Amino acid sequence: MFIPRFTITPKITRDVEAIGSVFGYFSAIQLPEGYRKELISKVTAEAVHASTAIEGNTLTQQQVNDVLGGKKIHAEDQDIKEIINYNNALEYAMKLAKEERNLLITEKLIKEINKLILKKLRDRDAGKYRTQQVIVGDYLPPEHIKVPVLMREFADWLKNPQPAGLSPILITGIVHYQFVAIHPFIDGNGRTTRILTTLMLVQNDYDMTNFFALESFYNRNRKAYYEALNSADKYRIQGQPDLTRWLEYYVDGMLIEGERAKSRIEEFAQKNKVLGDRVWLSDIQIKMLRLVFEKKAVKIADFLEISNLSRKGTYNAIEKLVQFQLLMRTGEGKGTYYTITEKGLGYA
């Protein structure tokens, strides 16, 4: 039977409460649809880059952005496949988390995530428990013959996490550690557990995928990440790994990244005067919307005639209206024209 050993320290309690406050802010703020979609895309790319970089992938963030955007890049085929696979596995997990509220985390699901991560890289081993002993740095995982039993006990614990009443944040922290401690697969264990914990957080209303990538916290200081994981083996309770220091690190990381994301959103909201589901516009932007409402379709030259801004300033004002989905741009070059959206009608 799997029984995690740890102490809920005052720091853990404070940080978990603070995380709840941050996510309360996230659920209350209503961002412009264009900005929200842009943010989700950015966070996803950061998560893919960070999680694969931790495992040695050499692609830069920009290269990852290009790969996810369907562009061809000059890089090792394996690195590119790792990016595509991780993104596919993450999309698969997020789809399940959002469509199946009461989804059970089973061994079958865990194997499927690993299979997607290793597709066309290690097809022979993908989604299958390892059949040999491995060494991970200074850590010696359990013998391979023990893996099926350990994973069965782990899956049983996931059905009814003990001790009862644990915050989902602590449960996912325990999952993160225990999974890599068992090291059930020959490869892709770190990537699998990071997707697994993200899935579980989303299931429990801690959907960070819209706001920040926790993987970036690990990737910025990989040494600290591995030291925190190894601390459980170093410090023990009655001969069993003590997860206290790891959980302090895990919770601290979520709080740090959450507060950073909150600060970025507050900066955006202040800069663009976002309040609730309304976007506060300048007088000239309102004038632009009214012009489009009256004329049905407007070109850049029409905006310049009514604007007291420079050409660049006028373009910037228009771009914000497009970003906030108040105007729709159609055509290219000199043939470009703008029409008002249904959302924009509320401001005209």
- Domains of the chain by start residue, with CATH: 10-271 (1.10.3290.10), 281-345 (1.10.10.10)
pLDDT at 10 over 80: yes
Return d(Cα 209, Cα 256) in angstroms, integer: 15
Return d(Cα 201, Cα 94) in angstroms, integer: 10
pLDDT per position as a tens digit, 285-328: 888 898 998 888 999 889 888 887 778 878 888 988 898 889 99
Whether 19 contacts 172, CB under 8 Å: no
Phi first, then psi: give them for residue 57, nearest 5 degrees.
-65, 135
DSSP conformational letter for 142: P
pLDDT at 273 over 90: no
Question: Average pLDDT in the 114-131 region?
Answer: 98
| Global pTM exceeds 0.75 | yes
pLDDT per position as a tens digit, 16-58: 999 998 988 887 677 777 788 889 999 999 999 999 999 999 9
pLDDT per position as a tens digit, 145-155: 999 999 999 99
Provide the 10 A C-beta neighbour count for residue 230. Answer: 17
Helical H segments across 185-243, by residue range = 189-203, 214-220, 222-234
Return d(Cα 249, Cα 240) in angstroms, integer: 19
Please name the amino acid found at residue 253. G
Phi first, then psi: give them for residue 19, nearest 5 degrees.
-65, -40
Report residue 85's pLDDT band, with 50, 70 and 90 as the boundaries: very high
Residue-by-residue DSSP string for 95-124:
HHHHH-TT----HHHHHHHHHHHTTTTSTT
Query: Worst-scoring range by mean pLDDT, 40-54, 160-174, 238-252, 288-302?
Result: 288-302
Return d(Cα 85, Cα 126) in angstroms, integer: 12
pLDDT value of residue 278: 59
- Closest by Cα among 196, 195, 276, 269 to 27: 276
pLDDT value of residue 179: 98
Residue 51 or 348, more confident: 51
Residue 208 DSSP SS3: helix
pLDDT per position as a tens digit, 323-333: 888 999 998 88
